[in-house]
Amino acid sequence: MGWNHRGWGWAAESIVALDAITADGDVVRCSEEINADLFWSARGSGPGFFAVVTQFHLQSREVPAGMLTSLYVWDISEYDAVLPWVIDTSRIADPDMEINVLAKYPDNSENASPNQRINLIVSLVTFNKDSKAAQLLRKKSHGRRGKLLPTKVTAI
């Protein structure tokens, strides 16, 4: 999907060329103009592509001046309160806001306590042209949390 796919489109849409090794062992560059059949096959086939891609060439974007991130961490016991907020927020969120949810054990090492609890992590990222617009969007989404108070809040 890629960063900010709601506002910028899918990451695959930014591929302008790729280098691949065909089943015959040929190393080829593919684009809309060169080896177009392989280029369009690669963009549409997913893991079923019949060559090995060694490099993607992407249309890059400038980093938005108003890129802000908020990260919230809750104990899994808050799931029933947090998930409806995430779903409601994502329904009305600006296309320039990306919302990610992850459930994870705090310590994933071999020495981790078997009694540890899963954390529910919610990340909000805004991609705006200026920082004031990004701060306003972040403030608007944070206000929707109501009485949801995370275990830990990190604003980056």
**If you ran DSSP here, which 8-state letter would residue 48 be given?**
G
Residues of the chain with confidence (pLDDT) below 70: 1-7, 9, 130-156
Domain covering 5-58: architecture = 2-Layer Sandwich (3.30)
- Give 22's contacts (C-beta < 8 A, 6+ positions apart): 28, 38, 50, 51
Class of domain 66-155: alpha beta
pLDDT digits (tens, 9 = 90+) for 89-108: 888 777 778 888 888 888 87
Q: Tell me, what's the pLDDT at 134?
A: 60
Q: Tell me, what's the pLDDT at 93?
A: 76
| Per-residue burial over 127-143, b = 16 or more CB atoms within 10 Å of its CB, e = otherwise | bbeeeebbeebbeebee
Spell out the domain ranges in the chain: 5-58, 66-155
Q: Tell me, what's the pLDDT at 149?
A: 44
- Check: CB of residue 103 under 8 Å from CB of residue 118: yes
